[in-house]
Amino acid sequence: MHDDGRYDDPRVTGPGGRPSAADPVSRETTYPGWPAGGESRGPSTRPPDCDPVVRRDPPSVGVEPTSGVPRNLPMARDGRDPSGRAADATGGPVPVRGSASVPARLEPSAGPSGTAVPQQPTPQAVPDAAPVVVPPSDAPPAADYGDEPTGSTYVSRETPTREEDDPPLAMEAMRAVQILNPSGEVTMPRPARTRVMCVANQKGGVGKTTTTVNLAVALALHGNRVLVVDLDPQGNASTGLNVPHHTGVPDVYDCLIDSVPLGDVAQAVEGIPNLWCVPATIDLAGAEIELVSVVARESRLARAIAAYPGHFDYVFIDCPPSLGLLTVNALVAAQEVLIPIQCEYYALEGLNQLINNINLVRQHLNPKLEVSTILLTMYDRRTRLADAVEQDVRNHFGDKVLQAVIPRNVRVSEAPSYGQSVMTYDPGSRGATSYFEAAQEIAERGVMEPVSRNA
């Protein structure tokens, strides 16, 4: 074939060397409105729907100037060119069968030279469309995206109809409002007399300070007046309540050694109404030795609490992880003992020794003292050990074990780094919910117990 479109083979050429009209396949793609053969093709004759061809020198692949399809590449059986575009016999896209825009099938017939010539299309039946369902006249119209449905009887499929159908975020928000109690109403019962509770366990890391802080905040948020006495030289309870406890701040050491009134060292906790804290500084580390020569050394804290002019519903004493004079002072001043037990074997190993010391204090120093509450902490439901420890503790202590169990929760550990309890740091977390349930159970038990025991 020459540059002007003429062929040398007389079998496929007509008069003048031009391709005959009966030629079923032309080496050049023609479009309606284009000039035939080798006539000039200027910019004014280019079809408006045909993209211009950018010529590159030298071209990497021979490209037809009109179609943009690589030359000498076979067409696929489904009518698609090698570039992946569907095309029909005229170079246009192949429509999908079964739609209303399907063209009629081309019936081939024999031409003068024995070749197939396309004939006029014959009508092809189009499958009937799906029946249109007309909604009843009383049904509300369908709303577009973002519009509210109209009609009083219309209920969305995503609209929760029961409390258990609420999404997780909504349930967490409801728990947070219940725990924070922004209205300030008294939702937890207040005891008839002050309950002084000593949180003790000679094993460290079982959650004594965490339990003290979160129970105190939970009770204070629900209408109870609470005092926290930090008797641990580490001062972790003061940190958890965001109370200053650096050197030079009046603390519980001054009350024990110098007989300073407890009201002079108690500080109101910021952001939590009805909650006060007696901080502990590093000076308390030497109180163990200095109390040895002090008269009535075991009852120094009890006298300070009894002389406080105000009234509290609860007094929580956070003990150090030991059985020294500081813990003995707490046991003498308290009426009840709350023992946090980590759900591991080591926590059970030292529990027997703690019970023996409590019995000694009851016999010689404080006959009103008793173990009233056992709280299981750091419970991991994935392990069988946690279940075994829980069963052993419940079988031994019976009803003294709270039904609420504190699980392992990272929010509980993160809260002290922000100077908060988990109740205010993340009130919707599992840790906050568990401590809230434990505080509610403690408050209800205090109301049901006879008052004569605390008299």
The third-level CATH classification (topology) of the domain covering 192-448 is Rossmann fold (3.40.50)
First to last CA, the chain: 119
Query: pLDDT tens across 24-45, in order?
Result: 555 555 555 555 544 444 554 4
Query: pLDDT tens across 263-291, in order?
Result: 999 999 999 989 999 999 998 988 888 98
Query: Higher pLDDT residue, 238 or 77?
Result: 238
pLDDT bucket at 9, cuts 50 / 70 / 90: low
pLDDT bucket at 147, cuts 50 / 70 / 90: very low
Predicted confidence at residue 288, as pLDDT, reads 85
pLDDT above 70 coverage of the chain, percent: 62
Q: 201: burial class by Cβ within 10 Å (0-12, 13-18, 19+)?
A: buried
Whole-angstrom distance, CA of residue 282 vs CA of residue 253: 9
CA distances from 328 to 251, 301, 337, 352, 420 (A): 19, 10, 12, 17, 29
Q: Is the pLDDT of residue 165 over 80?
A: no
pLDDT bucket at 231, cuts 50 / 70 / 90: very high
pLDDT bucket at 7, cuts 50 / 70 / 90: low
Predicted confidence at residue 243, as pLDDT, reads 94
Query: Higher pLDDT residue, 90 or 422?
Result: 422
Query: Higher pLDDT residue, 383 or 70?
Result: 383
pTM for the whole thing? 0.63
* Greatest mean pLDDT range, 179-183, 342-346, 438-442: 438-442
Q: Which of 159, 200, 146 is nearest to 331 (CA)?
A: 200
Query: pLDDT tens across 58-93, in order?
Result: 544 444 444 444 545 455 555 555 555 544 444 455
Residues sharing a CB contact under 8 Å with residue 270, sequence separation 6 or more, in sequence order: 242
